[in-house]
Amino acid sequence: MKNTDLIPEIANDMTPRKVKDSQTETHAIVHPDNTNALHNAFGGYLMGLMDVAACVVAFNHAGRKVNTISIDGVRFFRPATLGTILNIHASLNRAFNTSMEIGLKITETDPVNKQELPIAHGYFTFVAIGEDGRPTAVAPVEPDSDEARRRYEQALVRREARIALGKQLQ
């Protein structure tokens, strides 16, 4: 069994789960092949790091294979320069029927005062994939802090805005 196969005890349990149960933090370093001529990280490189971290969160929550279905609100605040050690924080904001919104932020830690400085943030939506290859239901998420409750409520606003925009563009 690969570690991204179905985990029945998670996938088949629709009991609400806490945000902290699926969140993750990972790290990366900006290498020369990840940078442009100014030695700043490519935006696509940073988005790739976010996509991988969001995938881990979605898989941990759903207990089954997941796919990215949309990316929203990616914003870059400062360049990540060559040699920067990046902190990638990913947390489930809300689970809908078959989809999950994951909030991400990338920071760097100032080596002098140890303060985390923002590099980028964004919202990635994933869908759980059933054994038939089609979207399948996921358990709800239970916000477990004031910050998680705020993110939970804002995720619904973003979802409704995406749906309304999609209807306008048809």
Segment 71-118, tens digit of pLDDT: 999 999 999 999 999 999 999 999 999 999 999 999 999 888 889 999
Enumerate residues 6+ apart whose C-beta is below 8 A from 143: 19, 149, 151, 152
Q: Does residue 1 belong to any structural domain of this protein? A: no
In angstroms, the Cα distances linking 149 to 19, 73, 94, 100, 139 are 10, 19, 9, 15, 17
- Selection from 120, 149, 126 nearest residue 138 by Cα: 126
State the average pLDDT over residues 160-166: 92
Q: Does residue 75 belong to any structural domain of this protein? A: yes
Round to whole Å and give the CA distance between 24 and 90: 5
Residue with tokens 């990280």: 41
User: So what's the pLDDT on residue 9?
Assistant: 87
List the domain range (segments joined by +) for residue 77.
8-169
- Model confidence band, residue 6 (pLDDT cutoffs 50, 70, 90): confident
- Model confidence band, residue 7 (pLDDT cutoffs 50, 70, 90): confident
State the average pLDDT over residues 135-163: 96
Q: Does residue 26 belong to any structural domain of this protein? A: yes
Round to whole Å and give the CA distance between 77 and 22: 26
CATH classification at residue 93: 3.10.129.10
- Contact call for residues 88 and 28 (beta carbons, < 8 A): yes
**Strand segments (E) across 39-169:** 66-76, 85-95, 99-109, 116-128, 141-142
Examine the pLDDT at 35 and tell me if it is beyond 70. Answer: yes
Q: Does residue 2 belong to any structural domain of this protein? A: no
- Give the tens place of pLDDT for each residue, 151-160: 999 999 999 9
User: So what's the pLDDT on residue 3?
Assistant: 57
Domain count, the chain: 1
